[in-house]
Amino acid sequence: MTTKRQRIRNGLILVSFFLFPVFFYYLSPALVIMASGEGTINGSLVIFFLLFISALVVGRGFCGWLCPAAGCQEALFLAQDKRVKRGNILKWLIWVPWLSAIIYLTIKTGGYKKIDFFYQTHYGLSIYDLQSFITYNLILFILIVIPGLVFGKRSFCHHLCWMAPFMIIGRSIRNVFGYPSLQLRAASEQCIHCHTCTDHCPMSLEVEEMVEREKMENQECILCGRCVDGCPNDAITYRMR
């Protein structure tokens, strides 16, 4: 797909992936547990909170446009583009105990006492020596590369991501109150049933069925716009409403 918008999106997620070694710790699920056990608000806790806030307006737009894991996973499409149709609950089975551990440690230590955004980094850098470089690559391959090659497109997003639930909850809150936010709009009468939208969806959603029902809201939608830009008849559009 070579539309200008998708070239920009691809560029953003690739640059984000290339910079992943710099801010790896700022998305770490382990460091937030360590920091909470010391009564410290670290960088990753701040980022997770900001992702929740962003989802109130742009849903999981971060996943589609800025996440470093996205750049890695979509590059893997060249080797494995199998659609993932099940297993979304797995990330919740990870997220609930993980968040519970954070809450427990925070209460046990008497609450947060300080903020250290650069907690455990080296002058703000996440990867700065051989040991951290090896750790980074092991985690990258175990959590992102191998699942993507074995199970299919964006397996990490479906099955393992600890950040997605924050955004799903934020989006759900928006849906309850119904205030204006970035979303997709479908015009079913313009659909020619070419299956392009479904084929292009990096999250393996049945987009054509969503268009037919004119119900485009899905908690796994990352608002990447591939269905919008791939539709030959403009049956899907972005809107802020």
**Spatial CA neighbour of 167 closest among 73, 64, 53, 88:** 53
The phi and psi torsions of 115 (rounded to 5 degrees) equal -115, 125
Query: Cα 179 to chain center, whole Å?
Result: 22
Q: What is the CATH number of domain 180-240?
A: 3.30.70.20
Q: Where are the domains of the chain?
A: 4-174, 180-240
**CB contact at 8 A, 13 and 74:** yes
Q: What is the per-residue pLDDT for 2?
A: 80
Q: What's the full length of the chain, in residues?
A: 241
Q: How confident is the model at residue 1, as a pLDDT?
A: 66
pLDDT at 226: 98
Tens-digit pLDDT string for the chain (241 aa): 689 999 999 999 999 999 999 999 999 999 999 999 999 999 999 999 999 999 999 999 999 999 999 999 999 999 999 999 999 999 999 999 999 999 999 999 999 999 999 999 999 999 999 999 999 999 999 999 999 999 999 999 999 999 999 999 999 999 999 999 999 999 999 999 999 999 999 999 999 999 999 999 999 999 999 999 999 999 999 999 8
Phi/psi of residue 185, nearest 5 degrees: -120, 135
Residue 238 bridge partners (DSSP): 184
Q: What is the pLDDT of residue 241?
A: 87
